[in-house]
Amino acid sequence: MKIFSGSSNKPLADKIAKALKIRLSKLEIHIFPDGEKRVRVIDKVVGEDCIVVQSTSANADINYIELFFIVDALKRSGASLVIAVIPYLGYQRQDHVFREGEAVSLEVVIKTLEAAGADKVITFDLHSIKIPEFFKIPLIHLSALSLFAEKVKKIDGDDAFLVSPDMGGIRRIKVLSEMLNNMSYVTLEKDRDLKSGKIEISKVYGRVGKVAFVVDDMISTGSTIVKAAELLKKKGAKHVFVFATHPVFSGNSPKILQESEVEKVFVTDTIDVPKEKQFKKLEVLSVAEVIAELLKNSKS
């Protein structure tokens, strides 16, 4: 087995390689003055199972293209199997036509990945349970919920409860609740204006306790979390902790989160958080062991 890293999340690729007790294999990624990339596999891969780690987070277009080129280069160089580890699958929120005339961007990138030669994909906490249906190749859908459950158990205070910030997150919350001895949960009602992107969180369904654990798949602008925390505090919660798998962290979301009512924000390293986006309330949990365990135990 050989493991390669794209440019988007080398720290995670390093950790996975370490857990697998193998070194990262060599790739040459050259960027021409006009931004085009030339990818070349340096290590010999004939007959090998190859893993490529690439989060297709911002800049999603650049990271997807690089991934397609790496997969193609590996296949042309004789790899027998190429597994794309895409911890964060970019464009997953564009999984259907929301308004007439829109592209289904996620379907386009998946088709291109398959055409480039990927044989299998491993990813984490997808936005919707319908996404796996887009894949013709096997997709392994992992979750960070067990990592979150361990943390919640350590913080657990009196009158703790889970929170889904929108109706779409209920399935996730139910799974986590089961892991936590059927911890009670509430759901918030969130509306998003598709044109402006602005959100409103107005209602809570369920009993608000004292220690809230808000769980979401990703944090982008941070508005969902900030508004959820404000409402929960207004309704009587004393402490609000946040768990989100993917730290998309667009714009000035780190600052907004640091200054919010939230006590602590737990995310994972499915997306690399550069130094300038880290903040005091942030703690990053690693999914490297989860991926390495799966790769150790999976036979092509």
x/- letters, 99..128, toward ligand R5P (CB under 6 A): ----------------------------x-
Binding to ligand R5P (CB under 6 A) within 44-73 occurs at: none
| Residue range at the interface with ligand R5P (CB under 6 A); choices 130-138, 220-228, 258-266, 291-299 | 220-228
Q: Is 187 in the site for ligand R5P (CB under 6 A)?
A: no
The whole-angstrom separation of Cα 238 and Cα 236 is 6
Q: How far is the CB of 74 from ligand R5P (least distance, A)?
A: 32
Query: Minimum Å distance from CB 248 to ligand R5P?
Result: 7
Catalytic residue among 15, 190, 203, 299: 190
Considering the complex, what minimum distance in angstroms separates the CB of residue 169 from ligand R5P?
A: 6
Minimum CB separation of residue 39 from ligand R5P in Å reads 31
Number of residues that bind ligand R5P (CB under 6 A): 14
Please tell me whether residue 221 binds ligand R5P under the rule CB under 6 A: yes
For residues 147-186, which are near ligand R5P according to CB under 6 A? 165-166, 168
Positive or negative, the CA dihedral 32, 34, 35, 40 is negative
Minimum distance from residue 200 beta carbon to ligand R5P (Å): 11
Angle at 182 (CA atoms; ends 178, 187), nearest 5 degrees? 90
Whole-angstrom distance, CA of residue 270 vs CA of residue 151? 17
**Any residues with CB less than 8 A from the CB of 111 and at least 6 apart, and which?**
none
d(CA 210, CA 206): 13
How far apart are alpha carbons 179 and 182 in whole angstroms?
7
Please identify which residue in 95, 119, 125, 217 interacts with ligand R5P, judged by CB under 6 A.
217
Amino acid letter at 87? P
CB 223 within 8 A of CB 195: no
Q: Which residue intervals of the chain are DSSP H helices?
A: 10-20, 60-76, 105-116, 145-155, 170-179, 223-234, 253-258, 288-297
Q: From 52-60, 140-148, 212-220, 270-278, give the range in contact with ligand R5P by CB under 6 A.
A: 212-220
Give me the phi and psi of 28, to 5 degrees please: -110, 120
Nearer to ligand R5P, 87 or 222 (CB): 222
* 3-state SS, one letter per residue, for 113-151: HHHHCCCEEEEECCCCCCHHHHCCCCEEEECCHHHHHHH
Choosing from 222, 245, 287, 295, the residue that interacts with ligand R5P (CB under 6 A) is 222
Which range binds ligand R5P by CB under 6 A, 100-108, 213-221, 265-273, 286-294?
Answer: 213-221
Dihedral over Cα of 91, 162, 252, 86: its sign: negative
Residue 220 makes contact with ligand R5P by CB under 6 A: yes
CB 98 to ligand R5P: min, Å: 12
190 among known catalytic residues:
yes
Site of interaction with ligand R5P (CB under 6 A): 127, 165-166, 168, 199, 216-224
Enzyme catalytic residues: 190
